[in-house]
Amino acid sequence: MSDQNQLGIFLVSTEGDNVAPYLTWDSFNSFVIVCESADVARRTHPGDQVLDWWTTSHYKNRPRADCSWVKPEDIAKLEVTFLGPAQPNVEKGIQCASFNAG
């Protein structure tokens, strides 16, 4: 993306080899997001749309860790694919997500 203000469309997925084998039912496996960079996409939670979600008191105060998305230590393993530049009128944020309900 050449323009500093240009947003990109990214696919974030757990589908890579052994990214998060503990994610089965009642969890996300991918999402599409419009944001500034692959790094921002990687650090966003698909359900809460919160950047750096693992540092929030909401996440830390849960009785057990959120099991709907990857563990914080597995964020680097996520597969992030740049799909193309977003049109200027598209708002930042998650556009769609795949959730395996069980």
Q: Which two tokens stand for residue 17?
A: 């080899």
Q: What is the dihedral angle through the alpha carbons of 87, 88, 90, 94, rounded to the nearest 10 degrees?
A: 80
Quick: pLDDT tens for 62-84: 655 557 888 888 889 999 999 99
Q: Is 2 within the bounds of a domain? A: no
Q: Is 59 within the bounds of a domain? A: yes
Q: Is 64 within the bounds of a domain? A: yes
Backbone dihedral angles phi then psi of residue 52, each to the nearest 5 degrees: 55, 45
Of 4 and 15, which is predicted with more confidence?
15
Q: Considering its fold, how many domains does the chain have in total? A: 1
SS3 67: coil
pLDDT category of residue 2 using cuts at 50, 70 and 90: very low
Structural element, H or E, at residue 95: strand 93-100
Quick: pLDDT tens for 8-66: 999 999 987 778 888 888 889 999 999 999 999 999 999 877 777 777 776 666 655 55
Q: Is 1 within the bounds of a domain? A: no
DSSP states of 24-50: -SSEEEEEEEEES-HHHHHTB-TTT--
Domain of residue 66 covers 8-100
